[in-house]
């Protein structure tokens, strides 16, 4: 199964693609869709176009995103939610259901504790995907989401068997 993990952000939307075979995880690709500054609508279109191109290039079977946490600034939370909508729209248009995970669940699945910092997450992603050249923290977070989804899918499959 090929899984795309997404770490939504308006300026930088991280993405990562892994393949699973049993309990084995293999890195396929990762990167960051960047929008810079400008009108919100134009930035959302840019995210949509960039992510759609990545989706077509890698043809994942599954996708997952991190839940949005609420910032102190409501406007920032709303903008993040709009970027998250784009992250969910692209896979949904392809007919792929999108898994959603709380940040603490992702951290626990990858690091073993729910309150790991970004450096710990990136370190553990590198250990689980040896040789992967990671494009930055947003891409590392996206790969962590993909790893979390792969683990959760395997657990669900065992329970259903």
What is the β-pairing status of strands 2-7 and 12-21? antiparallel
How many other β-carbons are positioned within 10 Å of the β-carbon of residue 64?
27
Structure token digits, residue 97 = 């259901």
Q: Which residue of the set 97, 117, 138, 141 is catalytic?
A: 138
Contacts of 6 (CB under 8 A, 6+ apart): 13, 14, 15, 51, 63, 64, 65, 66, 87, 142, 145
Q: What is the pLDDT of residues 20-60, one digit of tens each?
A: 998 899 999 999 999 988 999 999 999 999 999 999 999 99
- CA–CA dist 135, 123 (Å, integer): 13
pLDDT single digits (tens) 88-128: 999 999 999 999 999 999 999 999 988 888 899 999 999 99
Residue 73 designated active-site: no
Q: Report the pLDDT averaged over residues 9-14.
A: 94
7 is catalytic: yes
Q: Looking at 7, 19, 73, 117, which residue is catalytic?
A: 7
Residue with the larger pLDDT of the pair 44 and 160: 44
Q: Please say if 66 is a catalytic residue.
A: yes
């Amino acid at each position: 199964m090929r899984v795309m993990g997404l770490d939504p952000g308006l300026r930088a939307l991280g993405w990562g693609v892994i393949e699973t075979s049993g309990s084995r995880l293999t890195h396929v690709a990762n990167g960051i869709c960047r929008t810079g500054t400008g009108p919100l609508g134009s930035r959302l279109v840019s995210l949509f176009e960039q992510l759609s191109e990545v989706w077509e290039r890698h043809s994942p079977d599954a996708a997952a995103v991190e839940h949005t946490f609420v910032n102190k600034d409501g406007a920032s939370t709303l903008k993040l939610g709009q970027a998250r909508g784009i992250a969910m729209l692209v896979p949904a248009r392809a007919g792929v259901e999108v898994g959603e995970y709380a940040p603490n669940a992702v951290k626990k699945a990858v690091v073993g504790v729910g309150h790991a910092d970004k450096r710990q997450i990136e370190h553990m992603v590198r250990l689980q995907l040896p040789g992967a050249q990671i494009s930055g923290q947003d891409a590392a977070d996206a790969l962590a989401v993909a790893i979390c989804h792969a683990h959760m899918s395997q657990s669900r499959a065992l329970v259903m068997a």
